[in-house]
Structure 1
Amino acid sequence: MHISESEKVIRTLYEITSEHDKGFEFQVTRLLELACERFNLDIGILSKINDNNYEVVLNVTPEDIVLPNGTEFDLERTFCSLAIAADGPVAYEHVKESEINNHPAYLDQKLEAYIGTPVYVDGKVYGTFNFSSPTPLNRKFQPVDIDALQLMGSWLGTEISRNNSEKLLIQANEQLKEISIKDSLTQLYNRRHFETEFTQLFHLAKRHNQSISLILLDIDNFKSINDTYGHSAGDDVLRDIAQILTERTRRSDLIARYGGEEFVIILPDTEKSGAKYLTENIRKAIERHPWTNQTVTSSFGIQTLDKNEMETFEVESIMEASIKSADKALYFAKKNGRNQCAHYQDLP
């Protein structure tokens, strides 16, 4: 059975555009290679156009032509400006013998053959799908060439739109995930996420025979700050303390807003002495911070699970027990004058 040139092109296009599992870049590169072969032209480009800026997104060229993706040109100095102006495909087999032989693209680059079409995404010009060569084409462009180019351009516009929608959906899901685990005011993790992460960190410490420390921080006289200066000032204090905690802890540490004016910090692979040193460093940083209108201090309760004790604890009870111990130490620090640190193991 005889298969027409149009059918051959359509079949090949269908095969390429069905290979979603190989990714958009692979598919576009295959289209560029197919079209270069079909048109007998050397250079194939998918471009993106922003105002008068023409950017090479993906391209196929001979080895002796270097055209890195991301290369930019002035749109008006490319033949693609003609395709954009025409709002559709344009084709020239021999530019020197045509009415556009004084076009900047020909004067600059001496491209003798060109065929290209605009690519539309959601009704707006995204860029162009175009092919060119420094040598004239030895045949006339046929209607099947124009049809194939338009099919490719149409698929590209649809696929780019789909990819954009997928990216937006992924971004939205990531934002929702962030919202679900972060405290909106301080941008630290919230209590729910802390409880989830604590279990994982405990398992990790137990597996590697490491100590783990927990710090509870409570802002001294926070109610009076709100009552005297307003809740906006109180929010500023919370945000500044969150920043101080972030700056003075390791990336491996877990910081969360535990509730109200309380914060909690988990220090993996940290023994008692290290936890006490860090806590005192944070306490001094808060006290010395250049607060507006008021002096802000904080009290701390610390609990360390020694690596030798880890085996005696079960994960179901460890978090509640650790928080309770750190809270007792925090209460002791508050009762004994505030603006100090107390370790549960040092309590009388």
Structure 2
Amino acid sequence: MKAQFDTFLSTSSEISESILNSLRDQICLINQDGIICLTNKEWTRFALSNGATLSNVGIGANYLQHCEKEPAVFQGLQAILAGKANLFNFEYPCHSPSTKRWFLMQATPLQANNQALRGVVIRHVDITKQKLMELQLKEYADKDSLTSLFNRRYFEEQLIKEVTLSRQRGLYLSLLYIDVDNFKEINDGHGHPAGDRVLQELALRISDATRPCDTTARIGGDEFALLLPDTDKMELTLLANRLILDIQQLKIPELIHPIDITVSIGGKSFVSDFSINTMAHWVDKALYLAKDKGKNQVVIL
């Protein structure tokens, strides 16, 4: 089989080289031992421009050994060499300090005269444009267009993940609901554009008060929710009181008539065995009690 592989390479080398070098993807060929037997110019150019050495990824190097640090790739190539797979795809980031890039590695068996040879053609395709578009579409799907906070759908997905993690680790998980007081009167008295500005400013204040690990969302017209991992009742109470005082001082200068903006906040910290329905029930109750106390109040159960 190895002799057949070597014969194929020698009889078609000129044509192969011309075709491969005309392509803008990075392409190499490895034999059954994982040794790189052939590369195109783009493979070499990209490797050298990104700090790699030809001793690691050039002709004669063992590509399988180079891939051992990425088990999924190593196992995928082994499956093709063993005749157990006809295609292996692996998507990965390849970022530099100044540029974000993504590539798709595609590996297929080498074939000649409809016979599979014990070699693998490896191709790395730049999918950065496609990936950036996917990320942008995902952001549109996850974010509220008015406030740029996460939307209800994303928040509910994140809630499921955080509940699972908190149970596994035995950590606190806190949930906070924020509701704008008298928001209908703001819209009726000042117009919907003014109401939108209020929501945008509130979103900024809430975001500024939270950590990168927290999830902040607009879950309804004038309703916001905060999901705070590893946050106990004392920490939650401090955050809620700081927020309500900060929001009381909120002024929107471009509005002709000043608006007094207050919110009602309800929340609770959970630990150990709890369900999403349980969380929603208690935090809804806390928010109701805050409203019932006369609004502009915090209730943490």
TM-score, with length taken from structure 2: 0.61
Whether the aligned pair in 1 keeps the contact of 2:24 and 2:42 (CA below 8 Å) is: no
Question: Compared with structure 1, are the counterparts of its residues 12 and 209 closer, same or farther at alpha carbon in structure 2 (3 Å cutoff)?
Answer: same
Post-superposition offset of 1:20: 4.0
Question: Compared with structure 1, are the counterparts of its residues 202 and 12 closer, same or farther at alpha carbon in structure 2 (3 Å cutoff)?
Answer: same
Question: Compared with structure 1, are the counterparts of its residues 29 and 295 closer, same or farther at alpha carbon in structure 2 (3 Å cutoff)?
Answer: same
| Residue 259 (structure 2) pairs with residue 294 (structure 1) | yes
Amino acid at match of 1:334: K
Residue 156 of structure 2 corresponds to 195
1:336 pairs with one of 283, 293, 299: 293
Q: State how far apart, in whole Å, the 1-side matches of 2:13 and 2:267 are.
A: 74
Q: State how far apart, in whole Å, the 2-side matches of 1:268 and 1:176 are.
A: 27
Partner SS state of residue 173, structure 1: helix
Residue 224 of structure 2 corresponds to 263
Question: Compared with structure 1, are the counterparts of its residues 230 and 19 closer, same or farther at alpha carbon in structure 2 (3 Å cutoff)?
Answer: closer
1:244 pairs with one of 189, 205, 210: 205
Q: State how far apart, in whole Å, the 2-side matches of 1:298 and 1:199 are.
A: 26
Residue 63 of structure 1 corresponds to none
Amino acid at match of 1:269: D
Q: State how far apart, in whole Å, the 1-side matches of 2:177 and 2:235 are.
A: 15
Residue 224 of structure 1 corresponds to 185
Residue 236 of structure 2 corresponds to 275
Whether the aligned pair in 1 keeps the contact of 2:214 and 2:228 (CA below 8 Å) is: yes
Amino acid at match of 2:291: K
Amino acid at match of 2:185: S
Post-superposition offset of 1:287: 0.7
Partner SS state of residue 241, structure 1: helix
1:166-177 superposed matches below 5 A: 166-177=127-138
Partner SS state of residue 224, structure 2: strand
Residue 3 of structure 2 corresponds to none
Deviation per residue, 1:155-208 (Å, 9 max, x gap): xxxxxxx95xx4333222212111111111111111111111001111111111
Whether the aligned pair in 2 keeps the contact of 1:300 and 1:341 (CA below 8 Å) is: yes
Q: State how far apart, in whole Å, the 1-side matches of 2:19 and 2:130 are.
A: 27
Whether the aligned pair in 1 keeps the contact of 2:25 and 2:43 (CA below 8 Å) is: no
Amino acid at match of 1:340: Q
Whether the aligned pair in 2 keeps the contact of 1:299 and 1:333 (CA below 8 Å) is: yes
2:284 pairs with one of 327, 330, 346: 327
Post-superposition offset of 1:16: 4.4
Post-superposition offset of 1:30: 3.5
Q: State how far apart, in whole Å, the 2-side matches of 1:173 and 1:32 are.
A: 25
Question: Compared with structure 1, are the counterparts of its residues 31 and 210 closer, same or farther at alpha carbon in structure 2 (3 Å cutoff)?
Answer: closer
Deviation per residue, 1:109-151 (Å, 9 max, x gap): xxxxxxxxxxxxxxxxxxxxxxxxxxxxxxxxxxxxxxxxxxx
Question: Compared with structure 1, are the counterparts of its residues 296 and 11 closer, same or farther at alpha carbon in structure 2 (3 Å cutoff)?
Answer: same
Post-superposition offset of 1:31: 6.8
1:235 pairs with one of 187, 196, 199: 196
Aligned residues: 204
Residue 83 of structure 1 corresponds to none
Whether the aligned pair in 2 keeps the contact of 1:301 and 1:326 (CA below 8 Å) is: yes
Post-superposition offset of 1:286: 0.8
Amino acid at match of 2:16: R
Q: State how far apart, in whole Å, the 2-side matches of 1:301 and 1:31 are.
A: 59
Whether the aligned pair in 2 keeps the contact of 1:16 and 1:31 (CA below 8 Å) is: no
Q: State how far apart, in whole Å, the 2-side matches of 1:321 and 1:273 are.
A: 20
Q: State how far apart, in whole Å, the 2-side matches of 1:269 and 1:255 are.
A: 15
Residue 88 of structure 1 corresponds to none
Whether the aligned pair in 2 keeps the contact of 1:215 and 1:303 (CA below 8 Å) is: yes
| More helix, by proportion | 1
Question: Compared with structure 1, are the counterparts of its residues 226 and 31 closer, same or farther at alpha carbon in structure 2 (3 Å cutoff)?
Answer: closer
Whether the aligned pair in 2 keeps the contact of 1:16 and 1:30 (CA below 8 Å) is: no
Whether the aligned pair in 2 keeps the contact of 1:332 and 1:342 (CA below 8 Å) is: yes
TM-score, with length taken from structure 1: 0.53
Amino acid at match of 1:172: M
Whether the aligned pair in 1 keeps the contact of 2:151 and 2:218 (CA below 8 Å) is: yes
Percentage of matched positions with identical amino acids: 32
List gaps (5 residues or longer) in structure 2. 1-11, 29-39, 51-124
Q: State how far apart, in whole Å, the 1-side matches of 2:190 and 2:210 are.
A: 29
Post-superposition offset of 1:8: 6.4
Amino acid at match of 2:260: T
Partner SS state of residue 263, structure 1: strand
